[in-house]
Structure 1
Amino acid sequence: MDASEREGLLDTAMRLFAELGYDGTSMQLVADAAGVAIATLRELAAGKGELYRAVFVRADEAERNAMEPAIARFTTDLPGVLRLADAYLDFYVARTDVLALWLHRWMGDAADVPGLEEHYTAPLSLRVVEAVRPLVPPDADPDHVVWTIVWCVYGFLSGGIVYSDREVDPQRMRGQGVRRRDAVAVERFRAHLHMLIARMLTPPS
């Protein structure tokens, strides 16, 4: 199997796992969607669990490639934290397939494939927490400060919001899957996220 064929199979597997979840996707479905024999798919992965892990390796590489430049340029101040948050938001706006993979995971999908969080989520989140820790006021928890950003990004991009002022069309994002999100709504959310981060990092008077 050459590199091009391998990437094509991983593309198909990632799309199906993102749209249907691990439990709703079979090896045969991936092979059929890719237009190959099941034997060809098994050259890439012997079983569905192995294929799922290969997809998460790919997803992790994509997130790291997006975040590493922002981490490398990090400065221990509010602008530095905002750049990290922007890189994180921009990645998941662009890669709604990776967002969907983790959302399925958070809802208990692929319970028989353990350890992904320890291998992929934990290392990057711990690095960010340690970078941000010196800026966090003494009455706040650095882990919860960083994960508040994560929860907000995931919540906005998956659950959406219904605006009361009608300046932006109602963003009912639930069920949108991997479709692109409205750019105007994303920028409005970004402004709110910046304000929230600034408030979390402001010491109490």
Structure 2
Amino acid sequence: MGDAERERIVDVATRLFAELGFDGTPWRLIADTTGVETGTLTGLFGDKASLYREVMLGVHQAERDALVEAAASFTPTRQGVIDLVDAYLDFHVEHPQVVALWLQRWIGDAADIPDLEERVRSLSVMMASAVQEVTAPDIDAEYMIWTIVWCVHGFLSGGIQHPGPHRYHARGEPLSPQALRRFRAHLHALIVHITAPQDDGAG
């Protein structure tokens, strides 16, 4: 079986784990959905836990690559932080399954598969180190990064729950350009308020 077929199986498993969680996705369901025998899956990946780890490490690496690329042009200014946050938001808008996978994980899914969170924390520490110089003195830079993470994950997974004709985004609805623009503007304003005052043209 070639690399393309293996990648297809990983993509299907990614979707299933994102929708149903690791605990709610039987090995047989992965086989049936991919059209591959369970024995072939076992030969390729070993077991469901190994496939799950490959999925999670793959999405983590994709996120890391996107942020490292953004960090390469980072400047220690308020606008630099805004650009970095925009890159984070854009990545997750383009890869909604990553948010879904981590939300499953955060509610206890695959609790017996350890060490994945430590990789995420190493990424948050890297980002916090990048923005430390720009952060206001009374703001914890690592918590600032996690505040952005919580906001982005919450917005993309839950939306804004208010009814009426001026509703922007609700759970289960497609994300509209208007909703994304409004949320992005909110993130930018948040960054303005939690970074040290400076004359960089970003407020």
Q: Is the 8 A contact 1:70 1:84 kept in 2?
A: yes
Return closer, same or farther for 1:11/1:180 CA change in 2, 3 Å cut-off: farther
Counterpart-to-counterpart distance in 2, 1:118 and 1:74: 24
Q: Distance in 1 between matches of 2:126 and 2:87?
A: 15
Counting aligned pairs with the same residue, the percent is 48
Deviations 1:41-98 (A, max 9, x none): 1122111111100101210122122212211000000111001100100111111111
C-alpha deviations, 1:77-125, integer Å up to 9, x for none? 0111001100100111111111100000011110011110112x02211
1:1-205 counterparts in 2 under 5 A?
Answer: 1-119=1-119, 121-162=120-161, 166-167=165-166, 169-173=167-171, 176=172, 180-202=174-196
Unaligned runs of 5+ in 2: 198-203
Q: 1:67 is matched by which residue type in structure 2?
A: L
Give the whole-Å Cα distance in 2 for the aligned partners of 1:202 and 1:166: 38
Paired with 2:114 and 2:46, the residues of 1 have a C-alpha distance of: 17
Partner-residue secondary structure (3-state), 1:36 = coil
- 2:200 corresponds to which residue? none
Rounded Cα–Cα distance in structure 2 between residues aligned with 1:180 and 1:164: 16
Cα distance in 1 for partners of 2:3, 2:85 equals 33
Greater mean alpha carbon deviation, residues 155-164 or residues 110-119: 155-164
Structure 1: tracts of 5 or more residues without a match:
none
Q: Give the whole-Å Cα distance in 2 for the aligned partners of 1:163 and 1:48.
A: 39
Alpha-carbon contact 1:93-1:180 (below 8 Å) kept: no
Distance in 2, Cα, partners of 1:162 & 1:98: 22
Q: CA RMSD in A?
A: 1.6
Query: What CA distance in whole angstroms lies between the structure 1 residues aligned with 2:163 and 2:96?
Result: 26
- The CA distance in 2 between the partners of 1:143 and 1:149, in whole Å, is 10
Q: In structure 1, the residue corresponding to 2:57 is in which secondary structure?
A: helix
**Residues 139, 164 of structure 1: alpha-carbon distance in 2 compared, 3 angstrom cutoff:** farther
Question: 2-side partners of 1:40 and 1:137: how far apart?
Answer: 54
Aligned AA (2:185): A
Q: Report the Cα offset of residue 3 of structure 1.
A: 0.2
- Aligned counterparts of 2:43 and 2:177: Cα–Cα separation in 1: 40
Aligned residues: 197
Q: Residues 76 and 135 of structure 1 are in contact (CA less than 8 Å); yes or no, is this contact kept in structure 2?
A: yes
Distance 2:74 2:136 in 1: 19
Per-residue CA distance 1:154-185 (angstroms, 9 max, x = gap):
11111111457844x44211xx3xx7522220
